[in-house]
Structure 1
Amino acid sequence: MSAQSVITRAVRVAAGVFAPGHLGELTQIVPFEMVDAVLAESTPAAPRRVRLLPARVAMYFLLAMGLFPELGYRGVWSKLTAGLDGLKLVTPSTSALRQARRRVGVPPLTALFELLAGPLAWPRTPGVCWRGLRLVAIDGTGIAIPDSGTNQTWTDKPRTAAHPDTGYPLLRLVTLVECGTRALIAAVFGSPADGELVYASKLLPRLRPGTVLLADRNFDAATFITTAAGTGADLLIRLKANRRPPRTGRHTDGSITSIIGGVEVRIIEARITVTTADGSRRSEHYRLVTTLLDPQRYPATELIELYHQRWDIETAYLALKHTLTRGRVLRSRNPAGVEQELWALLVTYQILRIAMTDATGSRPGLDPDRAGFSIALHAARDQIITARSVIAGTRIDLVGTIGRQVLAGLHPTRRARICPRTVKRPLSKYAYKKPRQPRSCLTAAIDVTVTNAATSPLTRTTPP
């Protein structure tokens, strides 16, 4: 007769119909009291009656939807209750879960995001600051939503002459991200018809003195630069090819001073050459504008290299749209549902970033860059299924099971490498029949040569 082992465990969750309202270990980041508070503030006229699907449970259900994007309503509910055997919980129908979502509405999810959003790391954390300035980035991306009639009245599909009616309607999401941790500081979304600059202007009040805003060429606009500089934050933005700034002064490092939108700025030009391991070489001319005017304190070469940190927001979008949702279209077929679902998804993303930053912060000198988002995501899903650590004990574990798995699977120190960009969801299914570039990442050597912006043909010598 073979030996046998019996494993027993105790699960502590809320009592009664509130038991399915949890996110496993992540519940300690978004505890019951926090969810109840945003519900009370956002829906003060809500009925006091305790339903079989209370509003608190519906809130956690909405957050769990982002962690299990491949499942339907009943499938997500089964994950929340998988570790609660013996409690004789009611299994709601899909219709009941849908009605619970509608009762909650959008404001509580928006309020919860505002409560959790913001920088996460201490200034001395590696990769978070540069010369005492916190690095943040701003950019936009498209979020695909279901192709329903009501959604198309809110936003439209991307159209081309060859494909006038294909693909999914898109929302424009614009966020402000902390580069070191890739945490969300602020977010706004809506129809792409308004453009990124319109949405970005709504995020600028979240900027503070002591930060550097990194942005690509789409944000090279005099109004945007003027408004952003007015917040007290510094800027580092790539200029468009048709921008011809006037020269008002010059520095020995090759940079010049100029005026854009009434703001005194410094312009740096450089030639960046990338040589990959397979011997191929590519060069590109960069022109950056910054409000960091002192060339001694803020060297031109370092600013050119610093601009590369802007790609941290692209990595954040990769985690949000492909790792977390696995490239799937959102579920909701009406604008109110889409808005609620997207805020819930942003909250879920931020919760995971908080867990990852807590883990890396437990080891002094560890760069948050080395924490794996996929590792944190799968560990969090496991904790939900088993309903572990929903309620913290008398001894608080700041790292937790998720954090320990993140620390056990740290990425190596980042190397200089490039990876070809491809269209993830082409408009035509026949696009995949064309020869595609290899998706393997190649190690690369990057050479930065600062050129003389004063003698550049793109610089005007006449005063503004």
Structure 2
Amino acid sequence: MTRTITVAEGAFAPGHLGGLTQHVPFEMVDAVLAETRTTQARVRALPARVVVYLLLAGCLFTDHGYGQVWHRLVAGLRGLTVAAPTAAALTHARRRLGPAPLKALFDLLRGPGPTSATGWVRWRGLLVTAIDGTTLSVPDTTANLDEFTKRASGNSGSYPHLRLLAVVCCGTRTVIDAVFGPSSVGETSYAPTLLRRALRAGMIVLADRGMATNDIITAITSTGAELLIRCKTNRKLPVLQRLHDGSYLSMWHGTTVRVITAEITIATTHGKRTGSYRLITTLLDPHTHPAFDLVTLYHQRWEIETTYLAIKHTILGGHVLRARTPNGITQEVYALLTTYQILRHAMTDATDTQPGTDPDRASFTIALNAARDQLIQATNIITGTVIDLVGHIGQLVLANLLPPRRLRLSPRAVKRATSKYPPHGPKINRTTYKATININILDTPP
């Protein structure tokens, strides 16, 4: 049995991502290196293009040091003469490259991706998006502590954190844009700039009640996008006009909004629970956008939590980021976002070939493991004249589609404790239940 692989020439051979290389080809990497003026003056043992792929590959193997990541890049190149850099050489190469090429690469790849997909990609012609934030742990070094802060919990053993805020396409879970920085700065401070950059007319953005601020709503409306945001029940929103579906028109600091109050009852075999939602939206016509449908749409906001689950749990596996300096952290986070994005592109390209297949049935874990295998084997690096949008990664995704989404209820509780000792206090019920939901639009009292 013989196996033929096609790779770049000479010192550039280790620069690849296996089957994912077609989503971030050599020409694209060379273009961002030229744009950011980081192309090497002379060809070294570690050319700049190879270092970019090393950083991206590092996000496929987050539990490995960069030395071990290098071994995986060259594992399928037996018979070729390739460099054997030391850990120090890999460190110097990453520092020499800097974060600018990775940021430029992410800017090229960010966005909703293919929008022909089914599911909740578009709702009544609007691209459905959501905004929310999370935190990532960074190494506890002196340099990082100058930029990032620890949680204000008094726990001296905790890691410093950075705050990541993203706008995500709910249907494909691709990242439209993201910002990050010290966790000492709140989400509502990062949000206006991000929203002005990420949104445009033809979109609707979903957000929780923490985003219901004047600056954020002004930022959204200035782009021409629509909004659907939960707001606090004690917020005074005067009734200007009552509408036939139970909603009413009001004013939010000069912006006309529609207010919807709904009572939601979730029933399981374990019992019932009823709560109320108060939503505001710039979609003012109850005939084209009924209140009931908007309440149902708002549930798609949780898709951004699935995005963060894939990044923090599936890719990072709960690990702390590697870089020991703020500049290195910036480089690593852009590499992480880029790697996540190209995995999502590979998954959506595959499901798009089967009309009617919802992208949320594609398994991120399957795609990630398939990408890891192809990188180690150095396969499908350079494609032929006809590009196969499905590829080996897509074939595995399509062969292992998840079942259609079921309506289930799961408590927001840690299912696996970080401590081996039993927790104090009452026992938490962590069972997942099948559920039924009843939505009742409430008329606002006079």
Match of 1:313 in 2: 304
* Superposition deviation, residue 441 in structure 1: 2.4
Match of 1:138 in 2: 131
Residue of 384, 388, 406 corresponding to 2:375: 384
Confirm whether residue 127 of structure 1 aligns to residue 125 of structure 2. no
Residue of 148, 152, 156 corresponding to 1:159: 152
% identical equivalent positions: 53
Match of 2:73 in 1: 80
**What is the letter of the counterpart of residue 7 of structure 2?**
V
CA distance in 1: counterparts of 2:258 and 2:117, whole angstroms: 27
Match of 2:324 in 1: 333
Residue of 196, 200, 214 corresponding to 2:191: 200
Confirm whether residue 403 of structure 1 aligns to residue 374 of structure 2. no
**SS of structure 2 residue aligned to 1:453:** coil
Question: Number of paired residues?
Answer: 445
8 A contact 1:25–1:390 mirrored in 2? yes
Residue of 29, 32, 37 corresponding to 2:31: 37
Residue of 9, 13, 16 corresponding to 1:15: 9
**What is the letter of the counterpart of residue 63 of structure 1?**
L
Match of 2:142 in 1: 149
* Superposition deviation, residue 245 in structure 1: 1.0
CA distance in 2: counterparts of 1:31 and 1:352, whole angstroms: 14
CA distance in 1: counterparts of 2:423 and 2:24, whole angstroms: 42
CA distance in 1: counterparts of 2:133 and 2:98, whole angstroms: 25
CA distance in 1: counterparts of 2:4 and 2:443, whole angstroms: 68
**What is the letter of the counterpart of residue 282 of structure 1?**
R
Confirm whether residue 27 of structure 1 aligns to residue 27 of structure 2. no
Residue of 54, 60, 65 corresponding to 1:67: 60
8 A contact 2:248–2:258 mirrored in 1? yes
Task: Quickly say closer, same or farther: Cα 1:15–1:47, change in 2 above 3 A.
Answer: closer
CA distance in 2: counterparts of 1:265 and 1:297, whole angstroms: 15
* Superposition deviation, residue 433 in structure 1: 6.0
CA distance in 1: counterparts of 2:2 and 2:40, whole angstroms: 39
Match of 1:270 in 2: 262
TM-score of the aligned structures, taking structure 2 as reference length: 0.96
**SS of structure 1 residue aligned to 2:232:** coil
The correspondence of residues 112-261 of structure 1 with structure 2, limited to 5 A, is 112-123=105-116, 125-160=118-153, 163-205=154-196, 206-261=198-253
* Superposition deviation, residue 149 in structure 1: 1.5
* Superposition deviation, residue 432 in structure 1: 4.4
Match of 1:100 in 2: 93
Confirm whether residue 374 of structure 1 aligns to residue 365 of structure 2. yes
**What is the letter of the counterpart of residue 442 of structure 1?**
Y
CA distance in 1: counterparts of 2:287 and 2:407, whole angstroms: 27
* Superposition deviation, residue 202 in structure 1: 1.4
CA distance in 2: counterparts of 1:180 and 1:349, whole angstroms: 15
**What is the letter of the counterpart of residue 140 of structure 2?**
D
Structure 1 stretches of 5 or more lacking a match?
1-6, 456-464
CA distance in 2: counterparts of 1:334 and 1:426, whole angstroms: 30
CA distance in 1: counterparts of 2:244 and 2:385, whole angstroms: 61
CA distance in 2: counterparts of 1:436 and 1:116, whole angstroms: 45
CA distance in 2: counterparts of 1:394 and 1:210, whole angstroms: 35
**SS of structure 1 residue aligned to 2:146:** helix
* Superposition deviation, residue 422 in structure 1: 2.3
Confirm whether residue 414 of structure 1 aligns to residue 405 of structure 2. yes
**What is the letter of the counterpart of residue 12 of structure 1?**
T
Task: Quickly say closer, same or farther: Cα 1:391–1:435, change in 2 above 3 A.
Answer: farther
CA distance in 1: counterparts of 2:27 and 2:416, whole angstroms: 41
Task: Quickly say closer, same or farther: Cα 1:130–1:429, change in 2 above 3 A.
Answer: same
8 A contact 1:265–1:289 mirrored in 2? yes
Report Cα offsets for 1:253-311 as digits up to 9, x if no partner. Answer: 111111002100000001111112x3322111100000000011101011001000000
**What is the letter of the counterpart of residue 306 of structure 2?**
T
Match of 2:49 in 1: 56
Superposed CA RMSD: 1.7
Please identify runs of 4+ aligned residues in structure 1 that moved more than 4 A.
423-436
Task: Quickly say closer, same or farther: Cα 1:432–1:375, change in 2 above 3 A.
Answer: farther
Report Cα offsets for 1:64-104 as digits up to 9, x if no partner. Answer: 11100111111101111111111122211100111110111
CA distance in 2: counterparts of 1:19 and 1:434, whole angstroms: 57
CA distance in 2: counterparts of 1:347 and 1:353, whole angstroms: 10
8 A contact 2:57–2:69 mirrored in 1? yes
CA distance in 2: counterparts of 1:201 and 1:97, whole angstroms: 37
TM-score of the aligned structures, taking structure 1 as reference length: 0.93
Report Cα offsets for 1:208-227 as digits up to 9, x if no partner. Answer: 11111000011011221122
Report Cα offsets for 1:370-424 as digits up to 9, x if no partner. Answer: 1110010000001001000000023321100000000001011101112122248
